[in-house]
Structure 1
Amino acid sequence: MMNFPYEVPESKKIRLIVNTDACNEADDQYAIAHALLTPRFRIAGLIGAHFGTRSATSMEDSYAEIQKMLKIMQMEQQVGVYKGAEAALPDEVTALPSQGSELIIREAMKDDPAPLFVIFLGPLTDMASAYLQEPQIAGRLTAVWIGGGVYPEGSDEFNLGNDIAAANVVFRSPIPLWQVPKNVYSMIRVSLAELAVKVMPHGELGAYLFQQLVEFNMKWGDKPSWPKGEIWMLGDSPAVSLLLDDHAFEYDLREAPYILPNMRYEFGHSGRDIRVYRYVDARFTLEDLYAKLELFHRYNKLNA
């Protein structure tokens, strides 16, 4: 791990598991790099998640992409990579055990004073499975999820649509949950020109982050509404920046809804509240990412 020009007090550090559908599109890679370059985090592992029907081997694709990222960053020997469930839960009572769910259980049940957070950049399948396998983990971690439609009605949303049953398991559980719905994660807008200046010049990692996004942008260029051509949303990045500063005045405690098959929210079932964000600071999120990429590149040049 690189040396930063500052230190983080041990008492401020947290344990972190990153659950990511890393090969789904092009923004997970930015959140993965951001998490790995954040000295406040003690990374307990990265889990490859499925992403529905976009690929018949989606979980394996995500697992391979995480390994590729670690190789580029020369961190293969420092962080463990685990396979999550291959598909969505069949219902709200049946777990799909995996290396990923076992990692969550194992880390949650450790006798460690550092708080444990698990961030989900795709579906909640592995969190739901871990809870169904071992309900005692509920009070021993906090889940942060990038997903779900706009409150109060709810709406179509990709991560939610890939496992509605898992979302209902987690929403109805006692697991502390921070939700970043799509109207909020969409606030992290960037232009390709901005990424060309702020990301691409920073070594092999910066070049890869930029190029894989540009390639995906061209690959999906014939889609009518998304992508838009010259901009992107780094929608997974709030899962990292909210663990640096939790934006204490920018969320509401809301009743956890039950999510219907059409992804609309129905209230009056859960009897518990979750933290739902209404805003995330894009400047803070992006500038912290850009600074860490630059520091990482400088460190690599000094140690080449």
Structure 2
Amino acid sequence: MSDHATLARFPQLSAELYQSRLAHPGHGARVIIDTDTANEIDDQYALAWALLSPERMRLEGVTAVPFSFAHHRDGLIRSVQILKQGGPANPEEKNFMGGLAGWAQRMVDTGRDPAKTLFTLPAEGVELSYQEILRVFEKCGVNPEGKVFRGSAGYLESLDTPLDTPAARFIIDRARRRDEGPVYVLAMGALTNLASALLLAPDIIDNLVVVWTAGFPSYAPFSNLPSLNLVQDKLASRLLFDCGVPHIYLPGYHVGAQLKLSLPEMEAFVKGQGAIGDYLHHLYTHNPLHEMFAITGAESKTWVIWDMINVAWLLDPTYVSTFATTSPRLDEGLYWRQDATRHPMIEAYDLNRDAIFEDFYACLASQDSKQA
């Protein structure tokens, strides 16, 4: 089946339905969190914030997403070779290195061999994420029974072959409960689970709203190649923007990138705030990406807690500033291509960093009453 034929299977939604679905839902929305929780440390913060906010959302379940940085392996090895040979000798080599330049330079500076870097593969990543979701539930004192689902062990290879998993089936089941209102999928990783659910059941797009963070703004003139969430499953990423499902796009660069935390803030507002506060502090001070990215002197550096933007958008419309636009196309080079004739979407352009973290700190401090 061609991509055109696949997309033709999706219902055409009315302007009125888009307007309704893309409006902020207020408190009490039905929510599924779709997350690559063990990828680094930001998903755990976002999930904890959601679990500690039961009066503001109805969290129906959490689905585990695969992840892997292995697609960077060959490029990283070549980039280190270029640097060891004196740096890029021509524009082609400079362009090749692109977003890998800083990573490669740190590998050179610390004397590390990129060929020996251990990369988690997708099948391992989804299982690690599943177990990490359970861990965050436990640290928050919330029972995970019937709420956590394994996703796919790999990425889409064709729009004709969706990956039928417990995660995809859970999304379908919840979306088909139309009498309970729309389901908001807070997507914090590759879109494989969500895309598979849509391909298995195209009819559900009328009762889903996807809230996804990834990539550059739709008006930016850059390739989205640096975006892990977008690049891991390119077919799934394109499907989100092409199929017509209502969606809220939250660019990571440079909107979510404002959500930086420092070690002094962790010490003052997170450490000591129950089991989950201590666990999040542990993650911050034992970040697995510090080793992989050859980051030294972490004590004086901040870290971006990217995925909190999804929860922030849902909890309070003043936390994330947005505008209405149309869904762009994502070309083969992963550049955005604008098309004013396409269906509408909402896109973020700014956020209130301090208000977001102050809300999160307040949830940690009052977690006993929230779990009562």
TM > 0.5 fold call: yes
Could you list the runs of 5+ residues in structure 1 that have no partner in the other structure? 1-10
Compute the displacement of 1:280 (Å): 1.6
Give yes or no for contact 2:218–2:328 (8 Å, CA) kept in 1. no
Amino acid at match of 2:185: V
The yes-or-no answer on 1:42 pairing with 2:58 is: yes
Residues 99 and 226 of structure 1, relative CA distance in 2, 3 Å threshold: farther
The yes-or-no answer on 1:66 pairing with 2:136 is: no
Give yes or no for contact 1:217–1:227 (8 Å, CA) kept in 2. no
Paired residue for 1:5? none
Could you list the runs of 5+ residues in structure 2 that have no partner in the other structure? 1-25, 71-118
Paired residue for 1:3? none
Pairing 1:228-267 to 2, within 5 Å after superposition: 230-247=301-318, 250-267=321-338
Of 46, 50, 73, which aligns to 1:31? 46
1:112-157 CA-partner distances (Å, limit 9, x unpaired):
3343211011111111111111111101021100112233224321
Amino acid at match of 2:176: M
Percent same amino acid at aligned positions? 26
Residues 171 and 296 of structure 1, relative CA distance in 2, 3 Å threshold: same
- Structure 2: how far apart are the matches of 1:43 and 1:231? 30
Compute the displacement of 1:233 (Å): 0.9
- Structure 1 counterpart SS, 2:258: coil
Of 103, 124, 127, which aligns to 2:191? 124
Of 279, 282, 285, which aligns to 2:356? 285
- Structure 2: how far apart are the matches of 1:147 and 1:249? 15
Compute the displacement of 1:212 (Å): 1.2
Give yes or no for contact 2:249–2:345 (8 Å, CA) kept in 1. yes
Amino acid at match of 2:63: I
Paired residue for 2:18? none
Paired residue for 2:263? 192
Residues 293 and 93 of structure 1, relative CA distance in 2, 3 Å threshold: same
Residues 79 and 282 of structure 1, relative CA distance in 2, 3 Å threshold: farther
Paired residue for 1:4? none
Paired residue for 1:51? 67
Amino acid at match of 1:199: V
1:264-300 CA-partner distances (Å, limit 9, x unpaired):
1123497212111101211221111110011015778
- Greater mean alpha carbon deviation, residues 128-137 or residues 90-99: 90-99
Amino acid at match of 2:49: H
Give yes or no for contact 1:202–1:297 (8 Å, CA) kept in 2. no
Compute the displacement of 1:158 (Å): 1.2
Paired residue for 2:209? 142
More helix by share: 2
Amino acid at match of 2:259: I
Of 140, 151, 158, which aligns to 2:228? 158
- Structure 2 counterpart SS, 1:112: helix
Give yes or no for contact 2:217–2:349 (8 Å, CA) kept in 1. no
The yes-or-no answer on 1:177 pairing with 2:250 is: no
- Structure 2: how far apart are the matches of 1:227 and 1:171? 37
Compute the displacement of 1:226 (Å): 11
1:173-214 CA-partner distances (Å, limit 9, x unpaired):
121100111211101111111111110120211010011121
- Structure 1: how far apart are the matches of 2:48 and 2:316? 18
Amino acid at match of 1:41: M
Whose RCO is larger (CA < 8 A, sep 6+)?
2
Larger Cα-atom Rg: 2
- Number of aligned residues: 291
1:209-245 CA-partner distances (Å, limit 9, x unpaired):
0111210168427636997952011110011111112
Residues 227 and 239 of structure 1, relative CA distance in 2, 3 Å threshold: farther
Residues 267 and 91 of structure 1, relative CA distance in 2, 3 Å threshold: farther
